[in-house]
């Protein structure tokens, strides 16, 4: 009777283990398939579209109003130095403005990074139009390389009147491979 119980227990354990393995493989496959699916959803809806320049509809400069733009520069697990050459600028809505950022690879090997922008207050992103930005593409820096990169932008004059300061924060993350474009 004990041998029969052991055989039944082993058979049940094998079935459970098989089911568990199937579930693990299915979950891995689902997670792997989510990446291109997420990218297609973002492409279709326009979400997270950081790799394209914005369009400027209104080119009238509002000289009656000045907006303080603060630049925050960060790296995440990437041995680079990164900073805005002018950490604060004052602009008029509608005014075309260029600021420069400096980045340096402090290692002895080439590294590729991608900058992700974020805004404070969060609704400022709707009114901040980047025409040229290093964040549109991956950046590959050779060992010890130092580079200056521009950001050309316009703050839309439709920005709510209660917003007097916008913080544009960039965080560089290490990514695989050089930009192919």
In which band, very low, low, confident or very high, does the pLDDT at 35 lie, cut at 50, 70 and 90? low
Average pLDDT, the chain: 85
Share of the chain above pLDDT 90, in %: 56
Rounded to an integer, the average pLDDT of 1-7 is 72
| Same domain as 119, residue 92 | yes
| Same domain as 80, residue 19 | no
Write out pLDDT tens, residues 90-112: 999 999 999 999 999 999 999 99
Range of the domain at 42: 1-49
- Structural domains in the chain (count): 2
Label residues 43-81 b or e (16+ Cβ within 10 Å = b): eeeeeeeeeeeeeeeeeeebeeeebebebebebeebebe
Write out pLDDT tens, residues 136-150: 999 999 999 999 999
| Same domain as 137, residue 91 | yes
| Same domain as 89, residue 29 | no
Extract the tokens encoding 61: 């400069």
| Same domain as 145, residue 82 | yes
| Same domain as 94, residue 37 | no
pLDDT at 178 > cutoff 60 = no
pTM (two decimals): 0.68
| Same domain as 84, residue 23 | no
- pLDDT: which is higher, 15 or 56: 15
Q: Is residue 54 part of a domain?
A: no
Q: Is residue 58 part of a domain?
A: no
Residues in the chain: 181
Residue 21, pLDDT score: 84
Write out pLDDT tens, residues 113-135: 999 999 999 999 999 999 999 99
Residue 92's closest CA among 151, 163, 155, 152?
155
In which band, very low, low, confident or very high, does the pLDDT at 73 lie, cut at 50, 70 and 90? very high
Rounded to an integer, the average pLDDT of 138-164 is 94
Query: Cα separations (Å) of 56 from 101, 111, 178?
Result: 22, 33, 30
| Same domain as 40, residue 89 | no
* 146: CATH: 2.60.370.10
């Amino acid at each position: 009777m004990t041998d029969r119980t052991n055989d039944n227990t082993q058979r049940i354990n094998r079935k459970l283990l098989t089911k568990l393995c199937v579930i693990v493989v299915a979950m891995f496959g689902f997670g792997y398939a989510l990446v291109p699916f997420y990218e297609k959803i973002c492409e279709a809806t326009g979400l997270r579209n950081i790799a394209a320049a914005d369009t400027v509809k209104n080119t009238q400069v509002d000289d009656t109003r000045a907006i303080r733009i603060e630049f925050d520069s960060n790296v995440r697990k990437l041995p680079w130095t990164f900073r805005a050459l002018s950490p604060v600028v004052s602009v008029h809505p509608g005014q075309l403005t260029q600021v420069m950022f400096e980045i340096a690879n402090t290692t002895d090997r080439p590294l590729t990074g991608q900058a992700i922008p974020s805004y404070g207050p969060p609704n400022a992103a709707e009114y901040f139009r980047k025409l040229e930005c290093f964040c549109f593409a991956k950046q590959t820096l050779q060992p010890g390389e130092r580079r200056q990169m521009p950001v050309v932008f316009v703050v839309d004059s439709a920005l709510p009147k209660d917003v007097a300061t916008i913080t544009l924060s960039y965080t560089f993350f290490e990514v695989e491979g050089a930009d192919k474009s």
